[in-house]
Amino acid sequence: MILGYRELVRAWKTRKITFSPDIRPEQIGISSIDLRLGYEVSKLQYREGITVNPSLDEFDSRGLFTKDDYRKPDKLGRPRFLKVERNEFMVAFTLEQVHLPNNISASVEGRSRLARYGLAVHTTAPHIDAAFVGPIALELYNLGPLPIELRPGIDRVCHLIFHEMKSAVPESVAKSMGTFVRQKEPYQKPRGTQKPS
């Protein structure tokens, strides 16, 4: 069952679903909750001789991303916009960290007002497991013909749709399968020690 407006308000007010920083009432929609763009952005860079193979335990993609923090103002002390150029791909986090209970999962989707200019907020990974804790990773890609500027910390760039599960997932199962719980980087940490050269 997808949670509608009344269920979403109730889940938020009773702190069944929590956000940090907290959302505002106007972020709650008919059947979803809007989230804002965060400040940390990572861009995947081309590296000669590197092929991405995340299925290998020792593959470490950390050296392939450049990171930027949009809390830092420009040279004149003004807030910076995040510009997504046409055909550009980057990973950003939502401003809000989300804490889901063990009987509610979610999916992240783009907002129509941005999608109509060509902005995708997830490439192929919209699903968020029950018991997830952390910011939501947004796989931003500009499919349109023009650059798109976004205001980190302000613009609502995506929304979450919440699904109530028929049964709650055991805590031990959630912990063992939650790859990106409490994520701080846009990649999966390797279990081996090798790094790409």
Residue 57 pLDDT exceeds 90? no
Q: What is the dihedral of CA 101, 105, 107, 113, to 10 degrees?
A: -50
Of the residues 139, 149, 164, 171, only one is catalytic, namely 139
Q: Which tokens in the block code for residue 6?
A: 């009344």
For residues 85-109, give the mean pLDDT: 95
Return the domain boundaries, the chain.
5-46+57-177
Pairing, β 133-142 against β 119-120: antiparallel
| 139: annotated active-site residue | yes
> pLDDT, tens digit, for every residue of 25-54?
999 999 999 999 999 999 988 888 888 887
pLDDT attached to residue 180: 56
Q: For the chain, give the percent of residues with pLDDT over 90.
A: 69
pLDDT attached to residue 186: 60
> pLDDT, tens digit, for every residue of 99-132?
999 999 999 999 999 999 999 999 888 999 999 9
Q: State pTM to two decimals.
A: 0.84
Among 170, 120, 119, CA closest to 148: 119
Q: State which fold the 5-46+57-177 domain adopts.
A: Deoxyuridine 5'-Triphosphate Nucleotidohydrolase; Chain A (2.70.40)
Residue 173 pLDDT exceeds 90? no
pLDDT attached to residue 51: 83
